[in-house]
């Protein structure tokens, strides 16, 4: 498993990382997936306090156990909930971030978080306060680096130049190329991108035929456009799962692709695709067949 530097930080992430959102709440099943990931050389684990309202952090913390020092652990903050109250609301206040980081540390069973990410944000947020809070947490040794999970250009333009953020989590794939406009900008600010949505809800896997027949398009693609695009990609590239990983990892700004797994079988498929992805060097047809678009909102 190859590794890449996260921005200008001292952290080096495995090119494939494990996302916690789809991880089973069954501890034994989750442990099997985490063990397989570690054995494969995956060292970056991404979760959030929002996933299963904290349960996901607890599961990952208990599953990693004494192997905590062998991995780079990332979680997120900003979506606040209260016990007994349905739903959650956005809270990026300094007081809440400081409260939430301690709750995450307790659930994760660790005394530091490697990458602490704001889980969204709007241009109306108090960015000076947010940045100062992250810097304070870093100074106190509670976090090593920080970043943001956001696709909003105006937020990135406000946040990155004013901070020492090293990570931007964004949805990016061959079927959603909107971040391409911003990759050089992000790299220029000393940060890297960690991608989510890499396999585009499974459309960019080898089950694409079944999925597109059951689906109703994806992102900017109508159902018919999606079917035509996927068929074209499959004709030129014999493994869409491998293509999905290679397409993202061709970008030097991308440090890692976060892949979810609800079973060991799913993770095994991703690992096999990763091996094949190294053989894909020509992306001309993929770029030709897919849409190159830009974000229209939040500019």
pLDDT digits (tens, 9 = 90+) for 155-183: 999 999 999 999 999 999 999 999 999 99
Query: What's the pLDDT at 179?
Result: 96
pTM for this entry: 0.93
Q: How far is CA 99 from CA 27, 78, 102, in A?
A: 27, 11, 6
Task: Annotate the chain with three-state secondary structure.
Answer: CCEEECCCCCCEEECEEEECCCCCCCHHHHHHHHHHHHHCCCCEEECCCCHHHHHHHHHHHHHHHHHHHHCEEEEEECEECCCCCCCCEECCCHHHHHHHHHHHHHHHCCCCEEEEEECCCCCCCCHHHHHHHHHHHHHCCCEEEEEEECCCHHHHHHHCCCCCCCEEEEECECCECHHHHHHHHHHHCCCEEEEECCCHHHCCCCCHHHHHHHCCCECCECHHHHHHHHHHHHHHCCCHHHHHHHHHHCCCCEEEEEEECCCHHHHHHHHHHHHHHCCCCCCHHHHHHCCCCCCCCCC
Query: What's the pLDDT at 85?
Result: 67
Is the Cβ–Cβ distance between 22 and 56 less than 8 Å? no
Is the Cβ–Cβ distance between 230 and 212 less than 8 Å? yes
Residue ranges of the chain whose pLDDT lies below 50: none
According to DSSP, the residues that pair with 90 across neighbouring strands are 79
CA-closest candidate to residue 77, choices 107, 114, 106, 49: 49
Query: What's the pLDDT at 88?
Result: 75
How does the average pLDDT of the chain come out, rounded? Answer: 93
Active site residue 51: yes
Query: What's the pLDDT at 20?
Result: 83
For domain 3-200+249-267, the CATH class is alpha beta
Tens-place pLDDT, residues 17-30: 999 888 878 888 98
Count of CB atoms within 10 A of residue 84's CB? 5
Count of CB atoms within 10 A of residue 12's CB? 15
> Pick the catalytic residue: 44, 51, 146, 274?
51
């Amino acid at each position: 498993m190859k590794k890449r530097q996260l921005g200008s930080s001292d952290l080096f992430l495995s090119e494939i990382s494990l996302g916690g959102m789809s991880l089973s709440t069954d501890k034994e099943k989750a442990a099997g997936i985490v063990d397989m990931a570690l054995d494969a050389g995956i060292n970056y684990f991404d979760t959030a306090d929002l996933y299963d309202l904290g349960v996901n952090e607890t599961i990952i913390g208990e599953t990693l156990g004494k192997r905590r020092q062998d991995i780079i652990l990332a979680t997120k903050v900003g979506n606040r909930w209260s016990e007994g109250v349905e739903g959650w609301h956005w809270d990026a206040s300094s007081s809440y971030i400081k409260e939430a980081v301690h709750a995450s540390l307790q659930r994760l069973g660790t005394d530091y978080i490697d990458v602490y990410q704001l889980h969204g944000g709007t241009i109306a947020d108090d960015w000076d306060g947010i940045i100062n809070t992250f810097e304070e947490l870093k100074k106190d040794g509670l976090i090593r680096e920080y970043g943001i999970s956001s696709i909003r250009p105006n937020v990135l333009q406000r946040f990155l130049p004013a901070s020492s953020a090293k990570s931007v989590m964004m949805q990016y794939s061959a079927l959603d190329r909107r971040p391409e406009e911003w990759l050089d900008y992000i790299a220029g600010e000393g940060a890297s991108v960690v991608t989510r949505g890499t396999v585009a809800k499974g459309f960019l896997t080898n089950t694409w035929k079944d999925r597109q027949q059951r689906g109703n398009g994806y992102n900017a693609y109508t159902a018919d456009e999606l079917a035509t695009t996927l068929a074209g990609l499959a004709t030129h590239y014999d493994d869409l799962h491998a293509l999905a990983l290679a397409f993202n990892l061709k970008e030097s700004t991308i440090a890692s692709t976060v892949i979810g797994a609800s079973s060991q079988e799913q993770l095994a498929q991703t690992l096999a695709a990763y091996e094949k992805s190294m053989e894909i060097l020509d992306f001309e047809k993929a770029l030709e067949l897919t849409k190159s678009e830009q974000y229209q909102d939040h500019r």
